[in-house]
Structure 1
Amino acid sequence: MDKLLRTLILLFVLVMAACRQPEATPTPSVNLTLDIAYEPAPPVVGAVTLVVTVLDAAGTAVDGATVAVRGDMAHAGMTSMDGQTDESENGVYRIPFEWTMGGDWILTVTVTLPDGTSVVQAFNATIGS
């Protein structure tokens, strides 16, 4: 009986240990500064180039990242627009983009570094007709 009780207690402890939640892996903090400009400026409906500049905390240009941009109208009902590039020069990424309608847009810029860490920042844009 004593052996059975010890076996049950050991089994219970093992089951409880297996049910434990895994410890959270800390997400590395990335301190990047993102800026966006438009060619032509001010932006109007049609084909444009989004110019995204990526700098690290020291103000040094960041090359070798992938920059993705998603454009959504501020109101519901419009299809989002997407663009992406992994080509840069001195931290400047040029992304072909097309505004399909004038009005207020929200651009979500995601910069993914070669080590897989990423930074996301939203920008507001008003597009002329």
Structure 2
Amino acid sequence: AALTLGVALMAACAAVYTTCGVGLARIFSDDEAVVQLAGTLITIAGIYQISDLVQSVSLGGLRGLLDNRVPMIANAICYWALSLPTVYALTVMAGWGAVGVWVGYLPWMALTGLFFLRRFLRLTR
């Protein structure tokens, strides 16, 4: 129930973020460069809302089942071994700056979210 309700809420937030990113940024700044960068980052944040929710809720469920070791290892692999080099490559080597951080982080968050959800569903059958 928490996952379904959360996905619905995050889908609504994602819709606002992805369609109104620049408009939201304009509320806080008149500097066009800041508005464009913030608008892009808000749009990317909208894209990862659902992945973040699935990862967070599923991990919370696994912790409730006292399943901590495997999620810890999965987080270490995805966030430290995979995400960090991806973020570095996009941010520094490809020159994407702040956008590279968010884009590099997204696939690994989605992967851990799907892994945690699958594990939670398997353990609660």
Could you say which TM-score interval applies, normalised by the shorter chain?
Answer: under 0.3
TM-score normalized with structure 2 length: 0.20
Higher radius of gyration, 1 or 2:
1
Larger strand share, 1 or 2: 1
TM-score normalized with structure 1 length: 0.20
Structure number with greater CO (CA < 8 Å, separation at least 6) is 2
